[in-house]
Amino acid sequence: MLLRSLPVLALLALTAPVFAQQTPRELNTLPGTPAPTPAAPAAPVTTAPPDTARRAPAPRTLASPPVVPDSARTQRQAPLPPANTTRYAVGLKSGQVLRGYDVEIKQPVFGRSFLLVDGQQRFELNDVRYYEDETGFYVRTTLPGRSKRETTLRRDRVGRISLYSITTQQYMSNPGGFGPYGYGRYGGFGYPYGGYGGYGGYRTVRTEYFSKDNGPIEDLSVRNLQLATIDNPGSQKLLADARRYQRITTLSYIGAGGLLLAGTLSSFGSSNGFSVSPLMYAAIPLAIVPLVIGGKSQNSVKQAILLYNRGQ
């Protein structure tokens, strides 16, 4: 039995190298060496997402104001004064003072003007000393240096020196607009609202007056104010400046008018026909001077009155 298996074993020993050469061989391995088993693939590494919530700063929120209840808000507000239902007063010359809800002046086409209180009580203006309405405070008085007929003046300022004014319609026929000069009652002139130039027509003129310590009404002129404020050196200095400005204004108007007249005659009297005279150009600067100086005069008078009313 053993002898029969020897040839088979010998045959197997001779054919084994041939089968080993037919299989692929790994590098750096000896022939006949069994191929290494491939390694199992590595498990994929999962990385955690970046923690952006930690790096990004939290959004900043503004603190909202505290909510105040309506009851507390109402308590903080100052209370309103009680409504003055009897605001307007009417003072009669007899000394009686009336008060009403509505005061108005009635000016009928035929007949005299009268004062109507609350639509029922009627008073003649000759019996009224003063009255109030929604536009201001008015007094009935006679104007200085004129007839004894009374006029209604509006009180514009209250103090030791109180200011009054009246607005009227006046017809101005001057073509050049040089008078009235338009600088108020500070030198005896009125305020023409219609402008400086033009060829005549009706103008709305505001004339001003004053009274010291509720005394008689006087023209609002620099001379009268100097007499009324003689006990205040500061007001006297300001009024002296206003008087000097008025003097310059008057001389400028006279000079401009003279040059304009001479230039006109010279322009028409030329032998070569009509030619504009240089005198007319020279009158222009003199006519502009009052426009600049007049404002300084008004301001000096205003400051003098304020200084006197403050008692400085």
What are the distances in angstroms from CA 75 to CA 69, 70, 151, 157, 248? 10, 9, 50, 37, 61
Report the chain's C-alpha Rg in angstroms: 54
Q: What is the per-residue pLDDT for 183? A: 39
Distance of alpha carbon 72 from alpha carbon 116, whole angstroms: 46
Q: How far is it, in rounded angstroms, from Cα 223 to Cα 27?
A: 133
DSSP 187: T
Q: What string of DSSP letters covers 232-280? A: -HHHHHHHHHHHHHHHHHHHHHHHHHHHHHHHHHHHHT-TTS----HHH
217, 155 contact by CB (below 8 A) = no
**Looking at residue 204, what is its pLDDT?**
86
Q: How far apart are CA 19 and CA 28, in angstroms?
A: 19
Q: What is the distance between the alpha carbons of residues 10 and 198, in angstroms, rounded to a whole number? A: 152
Question: Residue 225: its pLDDT value, please?
Answer: 94
| Domains of the chain by start residue, with CATH | 85-134 (2.30.30), 135-310 (no CATH)
Q: Are 241 and 249 in contact (CB under 8 A)?
A: no
Task: Please tell me the predicted confidence (pLDDT) of residue 195.
Answer: 42
Q: Which two tokens stand for residue 302?
A: 């205003």
- Under 8 Å between Cβ of 139 and 153: yes
**Which one, of 244, 246, 262, lies nearest residue 294 by Cα?**
246
Tokens linked to 196: 């400086």
Tokens encoding 214 = 């509720």
Going from the first residue of the chain to its last (312 residues), give the mean pLDDT of each consecutive group of 10, the final group possibly shorter.
55 53 49 51 53 55 64 64 74 92 89 89 92 92 82 93 90 52 42 46 87 92 93 93 90 87 77 73 83 85 93 71
CB 188 within 8 A of CB 219: yes
- Check residue 66 and report its DSSP letter: P
